[in-house]
Amino acid sequence: MDTITVRTNSRVEFVEISGPVRKWLKGQGVESGVLTLYVPHTTAGITINEHADPDVVRDLTMELNKVIPFDDNYRHLEGNAAAHIKSSLIGASTQVIVAGGDLVLGTWQGIFFAEFDGPRTRKVHLQLTSA
């Protein structure tokens, strides 16, 4: 297992990490397999979505904040209950097929680290299983 670091700048933010993940993958020398990406944080997540149009991420952020507002009489004392809920909805892990030494993503797809309690410095663990 290896780890990459992601620095976020906002309370809620989607950071595309496809580039750093691809850079890491190239150094592994594996032609085919499955890459598991795991976020070890309860107020963050990881997802695959469109990376070509930044409005997609803006819309996703807007709707998540609308559906799960920051203040909604939550009982969690830390004040970040909304972040925990968003993290559970998005999920803490994802998998990507590796073929030809590269990620198998659609033309418009990118891998996004999802921050819900930032800004912070976060980790994404990478585990590659070769075929």
Q: What is the pLDDT of residues 4-21, one digit of tens each?
A: 999 999 999 999 999 999
pTM over cut 0.75: yes
The residue range of the domain holding 88 is 2-130
Q: Which alpha helices (H) appear in 68-119, and where do they start and end?
A: 81-90
Residue 3: pLDDT band with limits 50, 70, 90 = very high
Whole-angstrom distance, CA of residue 84 vs CA of residue 32: 34
Average pLDDT (30-55) is 97
Q: What percent of the chain has pLDDT over 90?
A: 96
Q: Hey, is 99 helix, strand or coil? A: strand
Residue 51: pLDDT band with limits 50, 70, 90 = very high
Whole-angstrom distance, CA of residue 7 vs CA of residue 118: 9
Angstrom distances, CA of residue 66 to CA of 11, 59, 83, 111, 119: 14, 10, 13, 23, 20
Residue 77 has pLDDT above 90, yes or no: no
Q: What is the DSSP letter of 21?
A: H
The CATH number covering residue 76 comes to: 2.60.120.460
